[in-house]
Chains A and B, each alone.
Chain A
Amino acid sequence: KAGVTQTPRYLIKTRGQQVTLSCSPISGHRSVSWYQQTPGQGLQFLFEYFSETQRNKGNFPGRFSGRQFSNSRSEMNVSTLELGDSALYLCASSRGLAGPNNEQFFGPGTRLTVL
């Protein structure tokens, strides 16, 4: 069974631009969560989508948004990029809402560099 895939794996953008990252969950998984990983802040939860609805949200500004399609694939968008947005963005999928009884499976991440 194919794992979680994220595209692209690497991305370079300049300040002020916007970017869209994509995540395809494991087949049969309906929940997709997004995380930002930086050396300074560590791993931080961005948001979780289930059945095309945002079910959970972390403490990030409105420049960070996402959506989920009917096939459970998800996209994350960051507008007006800042240098501090440079990070590894991880996507994770689970059958149901992520929690103790629904293990999350992580993708390899998209490394975003903002110049």
Chain B
Amino acid sequence: AQSVTQLDSHVSVSEGTPVLLRCNYSSSYSPSLFWYVQHPNKGLQLLLKYTSAATLVKGINGFEAEFKKSETSFHLTKPSAHMSDAAEYFCVVSSYMDTGRRALTFGSGTRLQVQP
């Protein structure tokens, strides 16, 4: 079985300050991990993904995430928040089950607010 826990349902930061969105996962097999962003009334957009290569992954719009196996974490960070970063962010784990089928599990989401 696998699961994803996004530790904060809401995060509020001021423009220009760092962003940290936390994600913990559990998986019986070597997982792939993703972060997606969803702006209001829009579909999801892939920010970055980890697929067992470099543990520090850089994505679009200045976001990055570090895969820490010992902590089973995949936190998303950005050095300086921009107003346009206000959106909902989803951490996603993907791995193959005993059945041989791939399972994709989404976290519950973190809503990021950016104050001027």
Contacts and interface: CB of A to CB of B under 8 A. Distances in A.
Given A90-B43, A100-B51, A108-B41, A56 B101 contact: yes
A35 B46 CA distance: 15
Nearest to B31: A100
Task: Kindly name the residue among B32, B44, B90, B94 whose own CB sees the greatest number of chain A CB atoms within 10 A.
Answer: B44
Contacts, number: 45
B56 interface: no
A98 interface: yes
Dominant secondary structure at the B interface: strand
Interface string A81-115: 00000000010100001111101111111000000
Contact of B43 (A4, A56, A100): A4
Interface residues of B, number: 21
Contacts of B104: 45, 98
Given A90-B44, A108-B43, A43 B90 contact: yes
Contacts of B41: 108
A62 interface: no
Contacts of B72: none
B107 A100 contact: no
A61 interface: no
A97 B106 contact: no
B1 to A, nearest CB: 12
Contacts of B46: 103-104
Contacts of B36: 106
Interface of B: 32, 36, 41-46, 49, 51, 90, 94, 101-109
